[in-house]
Amino acid sequence: MDLAILWFVIIAVLWTGYLVLEGFDFGVGMLLSILPRGGKEQRDKERRVLINTIGPVWDGNEVWLLTAGGATFAAFPEWYATMFSGFYLPLLIILLGLVARGVAFEYRGKISDARWARRCDLAIQAGSWIPAVMWGVAFGNLVRGLLLDGDHQYVGGFWALLNPFALLGGLTTLVLFLLHGSVFVALKTDGDLRERAGRLASALSLVALTVAGGWAVWAQVAYATAWTWVAVAVAALALVGVVVAARARREGWAFTLSAVAIASAVVLIFGSMYPEVIPALDGGESLTVAEAASTPYTLTVMTWVAVVLTPLVIAYQAWTYWVFRRRLSSKDIPAPAGLSWQKIKDAAF
């Protein structure tokens, strides 16, 4: 098999890993103000339940993004260069979201103060909603194609990225991640919170089926090739499955199927791009897999590295999910252990 094609597949796999795993992280972050109920204290406890469902794993999930970026750089330098410089502003916005969210996860509990917690919750929510939309916008544009000049430089500018197809793509990832997150919360929590998450998942599954289904059909009809109908069909069936499983509160099945739906969306996206990595609009010169690829030598080296390390990574990452498999509820959450706001203020320089 052509190594460049293999690496195109590997990049798709890495993005699948990223979007499936950080997809529910985004979902949990977005639900931070939606799911919790009750008095002030109870709401804060439930927010902490939500954060702690992903506390030990969110950073590992995000490494899939770094790996996808690094692997694209190594295996397809031209793709990396054109895509990252072309998507400069969207990537900057995503990145700022990820920064705010990561810091807020880690620092929220370091200070025990209601105002501090609210600020961190805001950062977590902004850092979840914004990237959840932006990833869909970015991938929508890759499916639709970009304005490229003869040197494969993006010349369309920022506003051209906000076209209807890409914006619907943004809405699609948003809804998919919200659904994925609520299904995950239902799977990982207990008690009333679990029930609320289950109800929300059940409602969201219908919205997701409509929005994602609509976008997938649009993408398929306008931009994709015949075989990707399979991906559209699998995604649709999986989402129908989520509707059924969420209604029946079969949380394990619902989670598995919403993961399948996200994975199928990635297959559709990459399948529609192939044999190009960036299709060009308006008769411009598309960047193809073959043109963008590194030399066979580099790809061979990277193949060995990926073949040895990827199964290992999946194994130990999966193992930590097993270690932290316990469902959480607000009675599991210990009293805040951070320092008081006064103490932090006193420490000023």
Partner 1 sequence: MDALALARWQFAITTVYHFIFVPLTIGLAPLVAGMQTAWVVTKKERWLRLTKFFGKLLLINFALGVVTGIWQEFQFGMAWSEYSRFVGDVFGAPLAMEALAAFFVESVFLGLWIFGWDRVSKKVHLAAIWLFALATNLSAFFILAANSWMQHPVGTIYNEETGRAEMESIGAVLTNNTLWAAFPHTITAAFLTAGTFVCGIATWWMVRLVRSKKPENVEKARTVYRPAVLVGVWTMIIAGAGVIWSGDLQGKLMYEQQPGKMSSAEALCEGTEAAEFSILAVGPLYAGCEDVDHLISVPGVTSFLGTGHFSGPESYLPGVYDVQEQYTERYGDVTAAGEPVTYTPPLAITYWSFRLMIGLAVFSLALALTALWATRKGRVSDNVWLGRLGILAIPMPFLACSFGWIFTEVGRQPWVVAPNPTGIDQVRLLTERGVSTAVPPGVILTSMIVLTLVYAVLAVVWYRLMHRYTVEGVPDVVRDESPEAQDPDDADRPLSFAY
Site residues for partner 1, 265-294, by CB under 8 A, read 294
Segment contacting partner 1 (CB under 8 A): 34-42, 232-240, 259-267, 307-315?
Answer: 307-315
When asked if residue 36 is in the footprint of partner 1 (CB under 8 A), the reply is no
As a whole number of angstroms, the distance between CA 272 and CA 246 comes to 30
Task: Specify which residues 148 forms β-bridges with.
Answer: 154
As a whole number of angstroms, the distance between CA 242 and CA 253 comes to 7
Q: How many residues bind partner 1 (CB under 8 A)?
A: 86
The amino acid at 112: S
Any alpha helices (H) in the chain, and if so which ranges?
Answer: 3-30, 40-54, 58-75, 77-86, 88-107, 114-144, 164-188, 192-223, 229-247, 251-273, 289-292, 296-323, 341-346
C-beta of 261 vs 292, nearer to partner 1:
292
Of residues 33, 42, 85, 210, which one binds partner 1 by CB under 8 A?
A: 85
Segment contacting partner 1 (CB under 8 A): 32-40, 250-258, 278-286, 338-346?
Answer: 338-346
When asked if residue 159 is in the footprint of partner 1 (CB under 8 A), the reply is no
Quote the tokens at residue 193. 């919170």
Q: How far is the CB of 269 from partner 1 (least distance, A)?
A: 19
When asked if residue 63 is in the footprint of partner 1 (CB under 8 A), the reply is yes
When asked if residue 60 is in the footprint of partner 1 (CB under 8 A), the reply is yes
Do the Cβ atoms of 309 and 21 come closer than 8 Å? no
C-beta of 77 vs 213, nearer to partner 1:
77
When asked if residue 115 is in the footprint of partner 1 (CB under 8 A), the reply is no
C-beta of 210 vs 295, nearer to partner 1:
295
When asked if residue 114 is in the footprint of partner 1 (CB under 8 A), the reply is no
C-beta of 192 vs 207, nearer to partner 1:
192
As a whole number of angstroms, the distance between CA 171 and CA 206 comes to 14
When asked if residue 73 is in the footprint of partner 1 (CB under 8 A), the reply is yes
- Of 308-337, which residues contact partner 1 (CB under 8 A)? 309-310, 313, 316-317, 320, 323-324, 326-328, 331-334, 337
Do the Cβ atoms of 82 and 91 come closer than 8 Å? no
Name residues whose C-beta falls within 8 Å of residue 77's C-beta, 6 or more positions apart in sequence: 292, 294
Q: Taking CB under 8 A as the rule, which mask of x and - marks residues 170-199 in contact with partner 1?
A: ------------------------------
When asked if residue 203 is in the footprint of partner 1 (CB under 8 A), the reply is no
Question: 111-115: long-range contacts (C-beta < 8 A, 24 or more apart)?
Answer: 111/338, 111/339, 111/340, 111/341, 111/344, 112/336, 112/337, 112/338, 112/339, 112/340, 112/341, 113/338, 113/340, 113/341, 114/40, 114/44, 115/341
Quote the tokens at residue 216. 């997938």
Whole-Å CA distances, 318 to 129, 153, 238: 26, 40, 22
When asked if residue 128 is in the footprint of partner 1 (CB under 8 A), the reply is no
C-beta of 217 vs 339, nearer to partner 1:
339
The amino acid at 86: G
Of residues 5, 6, 91, 280, which one binds partner 1 by CB under 8 A?
A: 91
Segment contacting partner 1 (CB under 8 A): 22-30, 248-256, 278-286, 306-314?
Answer: 306-314
When asked if residue 233 is in the footprint of partner 1 (CB under 8 A), the reply is no
Distance spanning both ends of the chain, measured CA to CA: 61
